Structure 1
Amino acid sequence: MDCLVVVGGWTPDLLLPDADEPHVGSIDVDLALDAAKLDDGRYAELVKLLLDTKRYRVGEKDFQLVVEVDLRDGEKPVQVEVEFLAPKDVKLKKHKPKLLTDFRVLQIEACSEAFHNPV
């Protein structure tokens, strides 16, 4: 899917899986969405599909879903936040009524760079 790119704290592990010194990882997953390719409510459909699995729930922030991950280490499952980001320079179309209540993507600077040379 060329309209979704993992960015943020997990990229070192994904790009350099055999690094001499392992990356410490991250407790959240940042997903950059190419809003230009996810028009006509496709990003809302993606989020709705995740919510419909009942594995994900809306997080504290309105651009975030949360999933419990059992690391099978005898400890409590870890709460992993999945954050949905989009380029700040893209004009997002407003829908009336909203496609998803209480949810939006977070538009940030430089997010569009992730789509120039995705690996």
Structure 2
Amino acid sequence: MTSGTRRGGRRRTVSTLIEAATWEDFARRARRDARVWFMLTPDRLLTLTRGEGQALPVWSSRDSAEQALALSDGADRLDVCCVTVQEWNRRWLPSLREKVIGVGADWPTLRAGEARAPLPI
């Protein structure tokens, strides 16, 4: 379904408008906390496979990350960690874009089948 709105000569779909709003909300909250939160397994950064691709779940606040962790399977094997917003923008986003890994912004849980679709970068 398309919105019929053209911006920059491109037709924007309803889903791309929702993605943009989700990114804006996530970015606003992350700037307020000055951190982007994620989870580590004992040996690596937690990424999830979804369909054909991978997603990196991230949160805009420690509280949101810890709530998602509490509702997730295997929570005892995960640690909540963070990077500054500057580090996220300067190093992490370009790397994720290069590796074609989506971002699971403020997912309420990590349970299989309950997480929303990741946002493309």
TM-score by length of 2: 0.28
- Bigger helix fraction: 2
